[in-house]
A and B are shown apart, each in its own frame.
Chain A
């Protein structure tokens, strides 16, 4: 019996010839990541264990990205715990302010995660790296602490669902729209405990940025991991980044799936997920009467250079709507610098945007864009739960950067065609 790409990576890291869904295995971990919210607990548990060192100083990664630049004294204390730990244990991949970016954009950018890796992170969006053909999943702080000591973790081998995307993508339809549409179709627990394998000719044409966006939101369907087989586009992305060896895995043609879901993208329009679940998806045009107070373009889902380019294309020479706040956060310092060089930052600020430093900040209602009672935001993020970006009676609508930029101009949810008639 053949195996899926997920099963093959797990089997190799368990030192086994094959694995089957449902099996509990102990696997070797290539990268074990924590941030300023989750790592402080992991560090406390690590010390309680009495461990003298981490399993590998090059494979433990610390990214203080959630509440940095420190939003208050308590956050400063948490960030300091990471810094002190990094110093004491000689952690190679610790990122200080000025170097730090949003973890799930930063790690691939820096070549820390590579195809075929087995990655765990105390952050649910760790599943993002599946876009590189890695197995990658979120865990809690205690699991992270245990992995820092042992270099291993126990996992249940997930069943895989294969999603096959075909047809012709409409203009403005991006990876964000495809994954929102998919979650709308299967629900927020539609892939609970399972692997989502994204396949088909549409995926093969997608740039890495869109692939990361799709894998990033696998957890919003309850999945353990999202994964895309590596190809030329993947190899081009890692070409100047990889500083160690990596391995390419592919699903066998006779691999077993719990389900195969066929999606014709031809009919898909830009999507918006309404409060308070990512599965509440609609076509943009169905909800374009809804007025908004804030637009946020950023996050581990859509804070990449490609996302900022789309926003700048639509906002060039235009102004944001009066009384609306437009917040743009490049996900990493490298993206920020490149956006400066390309004139993107100038275009966006002239349109009335405020540019924030790389941080998760507003996505989780942390800082730099918190919502008041009754306010509505349209965000390029991944979650629109109750109170996610601020007051429990505020609302979050999820969409792509193109829809976000268009909506900033009109002050209501807007299809990009309404405000942009130029060439691609």
Chain B
């Protein structure tokens, strides 16, 4: 992966998983159905406004609350290319890696980015550039084991290799 370029939707602190995908929609795990309600309780118009390749930028403790994997699944299925936050709740952090949603912890970038900005993420270098201001920010590095997981193509692929499973 090289450069991801996208338009920013900005959110505040402590965006919990109930706001990312309210529990009233958890009677399914179909990604397309979940995407129809993505971020609905934070911004009711978000599912209509968001376009493929957009980027969510949020404050601290993004994804707090429930362990529902439906949260990163909904964000990904809504077309969001990445989530940048000051910090992530721990279960959401794991779930994002496991479901292949790109997330970056970058407190300074969050402060320097506004809604509507076009930003460029260099996944290899771990940097985020705001094209409006020209400023480039460094994201916090990913733990080496997480990189190993990403390289393998996620937890399921990693397990398949490690335990020599066939799968589909």
Partner of B163, one of A123, A139, A150, A366: A150
Q: Tell whether, in the assembled complex, residue B167 and residue A123 are in contact, meaning their CB atoms are under 8 Å apart.
A: no
> Please, how many angstroms separate the alpha-carbon atoms of A58 and B87 in the complex?
37
Q: Nearest Cβ distance between residue A402 and chain B, in whole angstroms?
A: 26
User: Is A277 in the interface zone, CB < 8 Å from B?
Assistant: yes
Q: Tell whether, in the assembled complex, residue A37 and residue B156 are in contact, meaning their CB atoms are under 8 Å apart.
A: no
In the complex, which residues of chain A have a beta carbon less than 8 angstroms from the beta carbon of B61? 188-189, 192, 222
Q: Tell whether, in the assembled complex, residue A189 and residue B156 are in contact, meaning their CB atoms are under 8 Å apart.
A: no
In the complex, which residues of chain B have a beta carbon less than 8 angstroms from the beta carbon of A44? 29
> Please, how many angstroms separate the alpha-carbon atoms of A58 and B145 in the complex?
30
User: Is A4 in the interface zone, CB < 8 Å from B?
Assistant: no
Q: Tell whether, in the assembled complex, residue A146 and residue B155 are in contact, meaning their CB atoms are under 8 Å apart.
A: yes
User: Is A45 in the interface zone, CB < 8 Å from B?
Assistant: yes
Q: Tell whether, in the assembled complex, residue A383 and residue B65 are in contact, meaning their CB atoms are under 8 Å apart.
A: yes
> Please, how many angstroms separate the alpha-carbon atoms of A223 and B18 in the complex?
18
User: Is A141 in the interface zone, CB < 8 Å from B?
Assistant: yes
- CB-CB contacts below 8 Å: A167-225 with B: 188-189, 192-193, 219, 222, 224
User: Is A237 in the interface zone, CB < 8 Å from B?
Assistant: no
Q: Tell whether, in the assembled complex, residue A124 and residue B167 are in contact, meaning their CB atoms are under 8 Å apart.
A: no
Known: A50-B165, A150-B159, A189-B87. A366 touches B23 (CB 8 A): yes
User: Is A234 in the interface zone, CB < 8 Å from B?
Assistant: no
In the complex, which residues of chain A have a beta carbon less than 8 angstroms from the beta carbon of B166? 50
User: Is A343 in the interface zone, CB < 8 Å from B?
Assistant: no
Binds B, one of A94-102, A256-264, A322-330, A385-393: A385-393
- Which single residue of chain B is at the shortest CB-CB distance from A67? B27
Q: Tell whether, in the assembled complex, residue B27 and residue A48 are in contact, meaning their CB atoms are under 8 Å apart.
A: no
User: Is B14 in the interface zone, CB < 8 Å from A?
Assistant: yes
Partner of B44, one of A40, A365, A392: A392
Count of B residues near A, CB < 8 Å? 46
Known: A150-B163, A192-B89. A72 touches B69 (CB 8 A): no
User: Is A138 in the interface zone, CB < 8 Å from B?
Assistant: yes
Q: Tell whether, in the assembled complex, residue B65 and residue A138 are in contact, meaning their CB atoms are under 8 Å apart.
A: no
Q: Nearest Cβ distance between residue B55 and chain A, in whole angstroms?
A: 22
Q: Nearest Cβ distance between residue B120 and chain A, in whole angstroms?
A: 28
Q: Tell whether, in the assembled complex, residue A364 and residue B64 are in contact, meaning their CB atoms are under 8 Å apart.
A: no
User: Is A149 in the interface zone, CB < 8 Å from B?
Assistant: yes
Known: A189-B14, A192-B61, A392-B44. A38 touches B27 (CB 8 A): no
User: Is A282 in the interface zone, CB < 8 Å from B?
Assistant: no
Q: Nearest Cβ distance between residue B64 and chain A, in whole angstroms?
A: 6
Q: Nearest Cβ distance between residue A54 and chain B, in whole angstroms?
A: 13
- CB-CB contacts below 8 Å: A106-149 with B: 121-124, 126, 138-143, 145-146, 149
Q: Tell whether, in the assembled complex, residue B27 and residue A156 are in contact, meaning their CB atoms are under 8 Å apart.
A: no
Q: Mark B49-77, 1 if CB is under 8 A from A, else 0.
A: 00000000000110011111110010000
User: Is B124 in the interface zone, CB < 8 Å from A?
Assistant: no
- CB-CB contacts below 8 Å: B140-168 with A: 143, 145, 154-156, 159-160, 162-163, 165-168
In the complex, which residues of chain A have a beta carbon less than 8 angstroms from the beta carbon of B40? 392
Q: Nearest Cβ distance between residue A13 and chain B, in whole angstroms?
A: 17
Known: A140-B94, A192-B61, A365-B24. A38 touches B145 (CB 8 A): no
Q: Tell whether, in the assembled complex, residue A48 and residue B168 are in contact, meaning their CB atoms are under 8 Å apart.
A: yes
Q: Tell whether, in the assembled complex, residue B160 and residue A78 are in contact, meaning their CB atoms are under 8 Å apart.
A: no
Q: Tell whether, in the assembled complex, residue A140 and residue B98 are in contact, meaning their CB atoms are under 8 Å apart.
A: yes
Q: Nearest Cβ distance between residue A206 and chain B, in whole angstroms?
A: 26
In the complex, which residues of chain B have a beta carbon less than 8 angstroms from the beta carbon of A124? 65-67, 91
Q: Tell whether, in the assembled complex, residue B23 and residue A365 are in contact, meaning their CB atoms are under 8 Å apart.
A: yes
| 26 contacts across the A-B interface (CB closer than 8 A) | A37-B70, A40-B29, A41-B73, A48-B156, A50-B165, A50-B167, A78-B28, A140-B68, A140-B69, A142-B154, A142-B155, A142-B156, A146-B159, A149-B163, A189-B60, A192-B87, A192-B89, A192-B90, A222-B89, A364-B18, A386-B19, A386-B41, A387-B19, A388-B18, A392-B22, A392-B41
A-B contacts besides A41-B73, A122-B67, A365-B22, 8 pairs, CB < 8 Å: A44-B29, A142-B69, A142-B99, A142-B155, A143-B95, A365-B23, A387-B18, A387-B22
